[in-house]
Amino acid sequence: MNTTPWLRSHTCGELRAEHVGQRVVLNGWVDARRNHGGIFFVDLRDRYGKTQVTLSAEIAETVRFSAEWVLAVEGTVVRREPMNVNPDRPTGEIDVRAEKVTVLSESRIPPFEVLDQLDTAVETRLRHRYIDLRRAPLQRNLLHRSRFISAMRRAFEAQDFAEVETPILTRATPEGARDYLVPSRVHPGEFYALPQSPQIFKQLLMVAGMDRYFQVARCFRDEDLRADRQPEFTQLDMEMSFVDEERIFAVWEAVLVRTFREAMGVELTIPFPRLTWDECMDRYGVDKPDTRFGLELVDIAAWAKTAEFPVFQEALASGGRTLGLVVPGGGELLSRKDITALEELAKNFGAKGLAWWKASAEGGAGPLARFAAGTKAAELMQVAGAKEGDLLLCAAGKASQARRVLGELRVHLGRKLGLVKPGWNLLWVTHFPMFEYDEEAGRWFSAHHPFTAPVGDLSEIPADLGVMRSRAYDLVMNGWELGSGSIRIHRQDVQARVFQLLGISAEEQSAKFGFLLEALAHGAPPHGGFAVGLDRIVALTLGLDSIRDVVAFPKTASASDLLCEAPSKVAPSQLAEVHVALAGRALLEAGKSDAGTAAARPPSP
RNA sequence: GGGGACGUAGCUCAAUCGGUUAGAGUACCGGCCUGUCACGCCGGGGGUUGCGGGUUCAAGUCCCGUCGUCCUCGCCA
């Protein structure tokens, strides 16, 4: 027996011709209304779809409702006349002829319309996110995300991985991103930090013999945001013992094949290509190449070393590189204005300028033309692999700089010229540099993190730490970094040596990482792991540029939550409880708002 | 932290060189209409031009500051 008479018998997405004649109850939101006097149409919407409800004039008189009100409609499924069928909707062959309409909930006039195509400002949409999320595209995004994560869980479980939760309140990390801090009430003057990732805990789980761990883990980093970065984000994190790189790649390839198949019906080809970091940088200029198109970088040093172009000569003399990018047919395809825009783009990425040449045996055109006269023209075309009419873009300078500029131009041109072929191009980038030099700090830092194992043993340390390679790897898809990981250091002596190379003293080591070093001294298995940015992979597989569209309640570029207005000021008593006092700008702001409250208060009698 | 764009009705936008009562579409409300499906037609209500200050006879428009949103460089082991 149905004791609640208005409860739905079907959803708004499931009624078909086969249901004709049945008495049904639908629950949902009022979408569009069309009043024709003698007959009244309402589209009733829920997560599953929209169904057209018809109200006779008599029934319509018994009830009043407006956009986004929540209704229960009791009625009969009727077949539409052939001429009235709406082929654009799954429910378009039927109507529900209402016999009784109950208002379950009223609604204010909505701040914006619930339309699939909407051009309302992000700010307004975030402020009323619960309305925005009613829209079919966002519901589709969240459902896709749910299916995606669910398939990944099944894939890990099928390979004996155990899901383990790790703390959200943890210890501040000395290196890496800025931490979000949480003051302790019980320990005056001390703070927890929110985890940037479960890195250390998952290594401890390996020492603990968990063998295969995974987790859908929330991570927090207090850094400036972008369309593809939120202050809190989700990783599919994993770690496993007694492995090398290939074992880990094999696990992830199996996981991703299954996930793409179950969540998207896409068959991925495995194994994914492997590319060392050095080869990747040589060919694409970036460590996350979009391999859906060619346009690879070329080295033009063979030409430049005898060309009388001072900029190139200097670059080569000081150990730098002279690199080029050949745009096939670019001499025709790209206007002078386009090239000016490319020059601007190059400057944006730190280039002093952009040398270019419209390739021609006759000498061509552009800033490089006067250095490519006579036999030097044919020579340059040969060295760069350019044909008559191609456009050659060149950058010279430090390897990192020249690569970056051309790498960014490559991606820009690939899109602009429509060279990007549709598809899911996944690849592993391996052998990252072990260390990076920070000019400002004047010291070496770990390129990945300080627990990453080096390639080879540490019996010989090169004079230039920059040439050392690590067992870190990234997974890249269509020009996005999906995730990263590494084989870890599992020997205490190796870990201590790496800390030493980083200039971290023995005292500092034990103060900051003592517990990890101690764990490594208690029988740590060789282990390694990987983590994928879930927000990114979900956004990417939906063809979206912004991860905001796959996060239910995202924050703005200034890390504000416009819906609940976080962060917010708290009462002085609450601050006192956690032993925190405001200082600097925060104190001034608080003073201003106090003064404001005092002024607004009525004068005391 | 730096650079750029934007902020006018609930929403999306317009408003000439600084000049009369700040307009349109849509949403909302009322009326008409029995087959629409973003229905149509007629009518109506709706404004602190983000906020504060300045210049001017006069500011949505010009200047300064500030707040917010978006993009971007730095940053994000």
Calculate the angstrom distance between C1' of B5 and CA of A142.
30
Query: What is the pLDDT at residue A2?
Result: 65
pTM given for the model? 0.92
- A158-162, A210-214, A442-446: which has the minimum mean pLDDT? A442-446
* One domain, residues A450 and A586: yes
Provide, in whole angstroms, the distance separating residue A116's CA from nucleotide B14's C1'.
25
Question: A490 and A470 share a domain?
Answer: yes
CATH number of the structural domain spanning residue A25: 2.40.50.140
What would the pLDDT profile of A465-519 be if each residue is shown by its tens digit?
A: 999 999 999 999 999 999 999 999 999 889 989 999 998 888 888 888 888 889 9
- Window A259-298, strand B contacts by Cβ < 7 Å: none
Same domain, A467 and A392: no
For residues A267 and A146, state if they share a domain.
Answer: yes
The pLDDT, as a whole number, for residue A600 is 34
Domain that residue A322 falls in: 293-420
Which residues in 349-368 of chain A line strand B, with CB less than 7 A from it?
A: 349-350
A41 CB less than 7 Å from any atom of strand B: yes
- Is residue A184 exposed (0-12), middle (13-18) or buried (19+ Cβ within 10 Å)? middle
In whole angstroms, what is the distance from residue A544 CA to residue A415 CA?
Answer: 15
The reply to whether A402 and A461 lie within a common domain is: no
Q: Which nucleotide is nearest to A554 (CA to C1')?
A: B69
Domain assignment present for residue A116? The answer is no
Specify if A284 maps to a domain: no
CA distance A600 to A385: 75
Q: Are residues A590 and A477 in the same domain?
A: yes
Residue-by-residue DSSP string for A111-126: SS---SS----HHHHH
Which position has the token pair 């790790």? A166
ipTM of the complex: 0.93
pLDDT in tens, A249-259: 999 999 999 99
| Residue A557 Cβ < 7 Å to strand B | yes
Number of structural domains (chain A) is 3
Domain harbouring A320, CATH code: 3.30.1360.30
Residue A111 lies in a domain: no
Do A412 and A520 fall within a single domain? Answer: no
User: If you measure CA to C1', which residue is closest to nucleotide B32?
Assistant: A37
In a domain, A556, yes or no: no
- Inside any domain, residue A99: yes
Q: Burial, A355: exposed, middle or buried (Cβ in 10 Å; 0-12, 13-18, 19+)? A: buried
Q: Give the end of a domain, one of A393, A420, A447.
A: A420
Is residue A588 pLDDT above 80, yes or no? no
Strand boundaries in A398-454, DSSP class E: 426-430, 435-438, 443-446
Whether residue A113 lies inside any domain: the answer is: no
Same domain flag for A301 and A440: no
Nearest nt to the CA of A91 via C1' is B37
Strand B lies under 7 A from the Cβ of residue A560: yes
* Contacts (Cβ under 8 Å, ≥6 apart) of A231: A180, A220, A221, A222, A223, A225, A555, A559
Structure tokens at A26: 């639908």
Residues A529 and A573 in one domain: yes
* CB A167, CB A201: distance < 8 Å: yes
What pLDDT, on a 0 to 100 scale, did the predictor assign at position A337? Answer: 82
Q: What is the CATH number of the domain that holds A211?
A: 3.30.930.10
The residue to which tokens 């990252």 are assigned: A432
Residue A133 is assigned to a structural domain of this protein: no
Provide, in whole angstroms, the distance separating residue A338's CA from nucleotide B61's C1'.
Answer: 34
Residue A313 phi/psi, 5-degree rounding, is -60, -45
Measured from the CB, is A84 under 7 Å from any atom of strand B? yes
Through-space separation of residue A596 CA and nucleotide B63 C1' in angstroms: 28
- From residues 402-461 of A, list those within 7 angstroms of strand B by Cβ: 436, 445-450
- A590 and A473 in a single domain? The answer is yes
Structure-block tokens of residue A35: 């009043």
